[in-house]
Structure 1
């Protein structure tokens, strides 16, 4: 699991200012230390946003979403009126507070003053179902973003501890431990997009025909043939196609003649997405789009790029089917999990077994004709060179004078050789 660290503020945006210190510089210290602490725990960290650069809200959140990270920790330091103290963690209104509380409880063990874990709903409109903080609002559901407020830098007691290198190490170690424990307790075995299929073509064809009686199931074989070139699991790719097309009945905006089996580019009634010249081209475009998400490898040699959206994908950002949630489909909660569940259902419903075969019975031996009594003499004379032609089929016929004269003459010559 990758984590991206944001140092908060930067450039022309200094953040809070207290006791001659600007927040952006204090945030940089905490962000760098946190990244190191996480790396010491063997956690993959993206440090690209630990800098003194100003980003617009869209620029910043696009960078976070495009990073391929699952979690973003935005490092900040608070300010109010100089009287408030304490560590805070802010999470999305749409997520549980599990990660935030894991961090909070570890910081509490350091004896640093802790204040609260909370989320805040947008105040733009009454009843709004959006987060107040833009970095959380604009990255959900792609990335779980947490804002960590290490303390109130305008409070003299907090400021003294926040600028102490020992406390900086202690606080960032606690935050890293909380994140690590959250990751360990929430590790879910994911299903790789690359690999070998579990289901066989006959199993998928049976499942398809059970729902769509009129369909030609030959498309299943095309999926298996093309998927093998790219190393994609053909069974799950085909299951995704029947999910996107309602079992190839095309009841949505995409039409059958488009040969678009995965809804590539389809965004609504006025945009039904891409079209492909043949069924095979449409299947290959689907497989190529999965390949773009699953790996950073180049296309297999000699293949035509049918997927016009291939280069819009951040390569390797979704190596598992579950990672497609919020990427292939938005918000996409449980999107990839559906295909794995359907795979298991088909496996149980249509077990892969060989057709019953009748028992093998021994066939009676074919009767052979009896060997002629003169056959051995015929073969011996032939081997000795006394007969120049094969007479097997005429052993019971009378010999002509010519044949007899030739045989006697051959015998005469053999006798003369031995004198």
Structure 2
């Protein structure tokens, strides 16, 4: 299945605005999360995004790209606005389509699954003559994920966990609509029942006490959201979504209306990844790196030898840096503002259409600049002198300010709340793919 994923607006077009938020940012964040979940969890799915960064791109360019790529499904992610007085979720298919069309049936799956997790009012299934619905050669859906100028909806949008949940809802709908098959080596998905989120720990403790009186065990877990500590009351973690939904209903039956489910890809989320250092040994070979990139993009440039060589010299985990390059360039398809001829594999200096970032004369030089920039963040030592300094932004870095990949959040990418996690998720997939390939080789040898 080929999924074209379209975060609405971007660049000079911010979309709807309200409560300190811009639609283009929320849409991109949700879309990137959708891509990460899909690529991590399912076999035989390709994803192309209209944009992976804050760039301007016309509607015509988006639909032409999807049509040329021959996508099977076009999914456009948006938020809504209406004078602050409206709230909730709605989605759209083209106005010419009947409710019995395949597009409408696909939409039914997504609408149902998204509504299960988004904590928003259901504004229904709608139709419109939007360009991305009219000019696409494949089935297309446009989702409006809350009203950004509504205080309650915007408060949800500000929470990374909510955006992750909404992304998961979209993916759950895609799985059912297209019968997607989960990867056999995929890490377990856990569904956590959150029975309230509080600014006050005392209020969280009261909720735990109340749940205990209702025969429901729970505990408090603190999280940081936009620099603010929140205290979540967790009433269970389940590998079965059905069991999580049963517990959620128990919590709601106890009178807790603000309970919801958070879906996480394994127990190893940000807390577990936070200590994974940028400095260290490179484990994958250059061939293994290249092979993984070509599994996603058969035309991918072979950069593995440079990430291996420079990674080992500077003491940087070159294979994780390679995963970062795959994240930045959409597996060397360059669907963002940076173009292939720039040899800029990590988005150095790229901030938008008017500033596409640095350019390097060769792929080798581009990788060297990438590794040097990581060295600037991860170490306070003097740069080794065997290779010339080609990173034009080396001296702009607060030396040693990010020793881990998660530490790059908000520094390498802004706001970039899940930037490091996205890199490590790709790296994890690289490891799984390499192990699977080696197992197949061993089986061939044993059977011959």
Higher radius of gyration, 1 or 2: 1
Please confirm whether the aligned pair reaches a TM-score higher than 0.5, indicating the same fold. no
Greater fraction of residues in strand: 2
Q: TM-score, normalised by structure 2?
A: 0.39
Q: TM-score, normalised by structure 1?
A: 0.42
